[in-house]
Amino acid sequence: MSDTLISLKNVCVHIGAKVALHDVNLAIKSGEIVTVVGPNGSGKSTLLRTLVSAIKPTGGQITRMPNLRIGYVPQKLHIDPTLPLTVRRFLSLPRRVNDAVAEKALNDAGAGDLGKRQMTGLSGGQFQRVLLARALLNNPHILILDEATQGLDQPGSADFYAQIAQVRQNFGCAVLMVSHELHVVMAASDRVICLNGHICCEGAPEIVASAPEYRALFGSGTQGALALYRHEHSHTHDETCAHDHAQSHHNENSHDNSEATL
């Protein structure tokens, strides 16, 4: 298992008194593209933030490859308008990088001409590209993206994902992302993880799309594609899902807890 970058074993995370994640087992291998899907409040961001050490798990084990380099693109980054910051200066935080490295990263992320611009003056798409450039600075083994295209329009996010595909080809890095764009999930992922407080099911996209747990979460229309969009904001949990879960590896109580908060 020398090519496993990160693995989680029975990881639980509490946010305050609430169980955000429980009994998560997961391994990311080098070079693979893994997409996490799940309804709002299912712990997707929590999972990613745990992986980048922004949150400490309350139970279980996280094993990282020695000297693992992670490139992290956060879900949203609010920069206070009182903070003057050029794109170039932003790339040198917290570690100063030289101009050649910064320029290469910007070019790799498709943001080559933005170096002198103010961060607060960028459009949504430009901003995400700069965040991507920053994540590429340390030549990462794995790129972790948290709903990186949130707030972008359809062509904008399609462009952004094309850029990610390009980056992955150039760098050969693994990609772990949260995404709601099902065409991306289905077309580009090696593996899809369906999350709802725990891992409901995982596997190749077509297998997950036809899994009963996935259907229970997202409905069954058009391989779940339309349902994913439709149910994202008005998710009601299906009883069959709870049943399926009751038979698997966790107790029903904690599951009910996490459901109550949905």
Partner 1 sequence: MTLFDDFMVRATLAGLGVVLAAAPLGCFVVWRRMAYFGDATAHASILGVALALAFNVSILGGVLSVALIMALTVSALGGRGYAMDTLLGVMAHSSLAFGLVAVSFIDGVRVDLMAYLFGDILAVGRVDLLVIWGGAALVLLLLLARWSALLTSTLNPDLASAAGISPRREQLILSIALAMVVAVAIKVVGVLLIAAMLLIPAAAARPFARTPERMALIAVVIGAVSVLSGIQLAFQFDSPTGPTIVCVAAVLFCAASVLDYLRPNRA
Residues that bind partner 1 (CB under 8 A): 49, 52-54, 70, 72, 74, 77-80, 82-86, 89-90, 93-96, 118, 121
- The residue (of 10 and 120) whose beta carbon lies closer to partner 1 is 120
Shortest Å, Cβ 247 to partner 1: 36
Cβ-proximal residues to 100 (8 Å cutoff; 6+ apart), any chain: none
Shortest Å, Cβ 83 to partner 1: 5
- The residue (of 27 and 85) whose beta carbon lies closer to partner 1 is 85
Shortest Å, Cβ 134 to partner 1: 8
Shortest Å, Cβ 54 to partner 1: 4
Shortest Å, Cβ 173 to partner 1: 15
Q: Beta strand 33-37 with 191-195: parallel, antiparallel or unpaired?
A: parallel
- The residue (of 94 and 155) whose beta carbon lies closer to partner 1 is 94
- The residue (of 111 and 201) whose beta carbon lies closer to partner 1 is 111
For Cα atoms 225, 242, 201, give the angle at the middle one, nearest 5 degrees: 50
- The residue (of 98 and 154) whose beta carbon lies closer to partner 1 is 98
Structure tokens at 238: 């299906």
